Chain A
Amino acid sequence: MGGMTSLERTAIALQGGQPDMVPVATLAISRALWEIGERPRTAINDPDKMAKAKIVANEKFGDDIVVAGIDGCFVEAKAMGAKSFWSDHMPIVDTRYRVINTWEDADNLSFPEPHEHIRMRCVIEESEILMDKIGDHKAIAVVVSGPFSTACNLMGHENLFRAMVKEPDEVHSLLDKITDYSIKYHTAFKGIAHAVAVLDPVASVETTSPRQYEEFVKPYLERDMAAIAGKGLIPINHPCGDTTGILHMVADVIPKGSPGAIHASYGNVETRPMSLKYLRNVLGEGVQLDPDDPYSIMLKAVKKEVGDRVCVCGNVDPITVLLEGTPEQVRATVRRNIEYGAEGGGFILMPGCDTNPYTPSENFRALVEAAREYGVYG
C-alpha cells in the first residue's frame, strides 16, 4: 500500500491530481447488506444497519470510497409523493402511478423537509454515521438524483419527452421547482459526506438529445452542482449511459475551479454505432477494439477530451465483467482501464454503474487487488 489514506488518495484524484495510486471503488451498495446477513428490505430504513453494512463490505473488499444511500435515483421523487416498488436490490419508483399527470399536479407537489421524510432522513443519518466512524480516512460519497431524472420519475418517460417538445415552459417550471428542492436535500450533506454523486440516468443520449441536454438538463445540474460545491462537497455527475455528443456539457456542469468528477459507461463501441464513430473521431480510425470489453476503451477518448478539466471515473462493465466474468477477466479489464485512464491522475477506477448484489466476492476482491497492483503511480 502507498503512503496515503483512501481519503487523501481520492481527494487528490477528484482535484485532477495524481495520488500515490489509482483510487478504486467497488460500488458494492445493495450487496453490502448481504455481508451482514441483511437485505435492502430488512435494513433500508435503519441507518445503523446501512452504515454497518457499508463498513463491513469496505473492510472485506478494501476499496477507497464508501457510498451512503442505496436508492439514490429515487429518493427525491419519493419525497415528492412517488410510490415505491420493491425490486430485488432496492425499492425503485413505481412509474405506473404517476405523481404528475397534469400541470396542476406539478403545482401541488409536496416538498417535505429532508429530515422529515423517511428516506431522506435515513440517508442523511447513514452518512453521518459513516463520516463519524470512518470519514477521517475513507472517502464518503452519497448518491442522490438529478432534477431531470426526478422529473421523469414523477411524470413517466413518455410524458416528459412529449412535454419537452410541446410544453417546454411548463417543463422548465417543473425542473426549477425540483432543482430548488433537490438542492435543499443535496446540501444537507454538508460536513457529513465528502462527495455528492448526482445520478441522472435519464440524461444520457440513449434517450435525451444533446440539444435537450443543453436546454433541460445542464442549467439545472449546474445550479445543483454549484450549490453542492458551495457547501464544500465535491460534485460527481453520473449520466449513467452513453455520453456521445454531450460529454463536454457533462463535464461543464462541474463548477469551474471546484474539484469534481464525471462517471458513466460513456458508450458501447460494440452495439452503438455512435459510440464507435465518436471513438474513431477522437482516437483515430486505427484504434484497437476489444470485442470482449467494449467499455474500457471509452476511457481513453473521454480522458483525452475532458480529462484536463474533471476527474474521470469508470469504466469496468458491472455485468459482463464483474457479474459474469472470472477474477482473471476482472484483472485484465482493470489493467486496460488503468492503461487508458490513469495517466497523469484525475482518475478513479470503478464499475461504470451500480453493481449487482450477486457479483462474486472474488471479483470485487480482484477489482481492488488489481487496482493496487497495476495502479501505482511511478
Chain B
Amino acid sequence: MVDFEELKDALINGRKEEAVELTQKALEEGISARHLISNVILPASKVVGDRYEHGEFFLSELVQYGDTLKVVMGPIMARLKEEIGDERQERVGRVVLATVKGDLHDIGKNIVRLFLEGNGFEVLDLGVDVPAEKVIDVAIEYNADIIALSCLMSVTRDGVKEVIDELSRRGLRSRFAVLVGGRSTSEKWAGQIGADRWAPDAVNAVDAAFDLIRQQS
C-alpha cells in the first residue's frame, strides 16, 4: 500500500520522480483519483500555501512543487475521467486567468494558477499582456465561473478596469465573478473599479475563489 504521507511529502518537496512513481503505484493499487485528490493533492497544496505564507517556502520551492504537481496530475486526471465519465460534473470551478494588457509580469499569476489547480480548479491561463476583449471572449467560450486578473505595475492597472467595464458594456457583468490581485492593487481600489474580490497573494486567492464559487451556486 502506498503511504499517502510519503506521497504528500514527495509532492510538497518537489521530488518529482518519487511522486510520480508513488502516484502510479497508488492508481495501480486501485485507489480512486477522487480519493487521491482529496487525501493527497488538496492537503499538500494547503501545506505548500502555508509554508509560502509563513516564509518557509519561496519561489524555488513553488516552482518545484508546480513541476511535480503537473506530472502527478496527468495520470490522476486521466483516471478521474474514466471514473466519472464527465469530469465537469465534479469540477470545483473554472477560472480564466491573465496578466492584463501592457503588463508582462507573470510570476504572481503563475503561483496563483498553481494554487488554484492544486485545489481542484480548472484554470485556463492566457499568459501576459492580454487585452480585455480576449479575456472576455475566452471566458465565454470556456464557460468560466471566474475571471482572475493580475497586474504588477500601477501604470497597467487600468487593464483590469477595462475588463470589468467591457463586461458591463456587453451585459455580462453578472455572468462572471472577477478576482483581482497583484502588487499595485489593493482591496480599496478593487472595490472602486467594481471587482468582486481582491486577494493579496495566492493563498488568499484560493480562499476568495472558493467564496466566489459558493456565492454563485
- A residues apposed to B, CB below 8 Å: 85, 87-89, 92, 94-96, 157-158, 161-162, 164-165, 205, 207-209, 212, 241, 244-245, 268, 270-274, 318-320, 323-324, 356-358
Contacts and interface: CB of A to CB of B under 8 A. Distances in A.
B104 A96 contact: yes
Nearest to A86: B102
Interface string B127-154: 0110000000000000000000000011
A274 B104 CA distance: 27
Interface stretch (B17-25, B34-42, B59-67, B160-168): B59-67
Contacts of A273: 53-55
Interface of B: 53-55, 58-61, 63-64, 67, 102-104, 106-107, 110, 128-129, 153-156, 183-184, 186, 188-189, 200-201
B156 A96 contact: no
A324 B184 CA distance: 11
Closest 3 CB pairs of A and B: A271-B200, A209-B58, A207-B59
B200 to A, nearest CB: 4
Nearest to A85: B104
A87 B153 contact: yes
Given A88-B155, A318-B154, A207 B58 contact: yes
Given A89-B155, A320-B188, A320-B189, 6 more contacts: A96-B104, A157-B59, A157-B107, A161-B60, A273-B54, A274-B55
Contact of A94 (B55, B104, B155, B186): B104
Contacts, number: 78
Contacts of B60: 161-162, 164-165, 209, 212
23 contacts: A87-B103, A87-B155, A88-B155, A94-B104, A96-B104, A158-B63, A161-B58, A161-B59, A161-B60, A162-B63, A205-B55, A209-B60, A241-B183, A244-B55, A270-B200, A272-B200, A273-B53, A274-B54, A274-B55, A319-B154, A320-B188, A323-B154, A356-B155
Query: Which of B54, B58, B102, B184 has the most chain A CB atoms inside 10 A of its CB?
Result: B58
Contacts of A241: 183
Query: Which of A85, A158, A205 has the most chain B CB atoms inside 10 A of its CB?
Result: A158
A88 B156 CA distance: 7
A291 B102 CA distance: 30
Contact of A162 (B64, B103, B107): B64
Nearest to B53: A273
Given A87-B155, A205-B55, A212-B58, A158 B188 contact: no
Contacts of B188: 320, 324
Contacts of B58: 161, 205, 207-209, 212
A11 B209 CA distance: 50
A161 B63 contact: yes
B55 to A, nearest CB: 4
Contacts of A274: 53-55
Contacts of B183: 241
A87 B102 contact: yes
A239 B125 CA distance: 29
Contacts of A94: 104
Contacts of A162: 60, 63-64, 67
A319 B200 contact: no
A268 B53 CA distance: 13
Nearest to B158: A88
Contacts of A92: 104
A88 B159 CA distance: 11
Nearest to B103: A87
Contacts of B103: 87
B107 A158 contact: yes
Contacts of A89: 153, 155
A251 B107 CA distance: 26
Contact of B186 (A165, A205, A209, A319): A319
Query: Which of B63, B103, B129 has the most chain A CB atoms inside 10 A of its CB?
Result: B63
